[in-house]
Amino acid sequence: MDVRGLEDLAVVYELRWNVMKLLAFAKSKDDFGFSEKEIEVAATETPRELVARIVPGMDVSGIRVALDCEFADWDAPVGDAKEMAFLPPVSGG
């Protein structure tokens, strides 16, 4: 891959769609209406855009998002991630 800048990256990503597994945990299951779901996502799409697309009007404040088991930014493109998880405040222990 020969990428020289953000615009090129966008062009490259634009061409790519992934099937992504979405996981909703704890209270998020009720908010999203599913615990697990597969969906097609463009590599350029951000988690926030994806949520707006599948659950319009959803408020994600207080919820963290993870991509492939790492905390991620709501506003950064998902890239090649295979799994997105919605994580309300944790309470283990």
**Minimum distance between the CB of residue 64 and another protein, rounded to whole angstroms?**
8
Residue 37 CA to its chain's centroid (Å): 12
CA nearest to 85, candidates 6, 5, 9, 26: 26
**34 lies in the binding site for another protein (CB under 8 A):** no
**87 lies in the binding site for another protein (CB under 8 A):** yes
Between the CA of residue 73 and those of 16, 49, 92, what are the distances in Å? 20, 12, 23
**40 lies in the binding site for another protein (CB under 8 A):** no
What does the binding site for another protein look like in residue numbers (CB under 8 A)? 23, 25-27, 64, 66, 69-71, 85, 87-88, 90-93
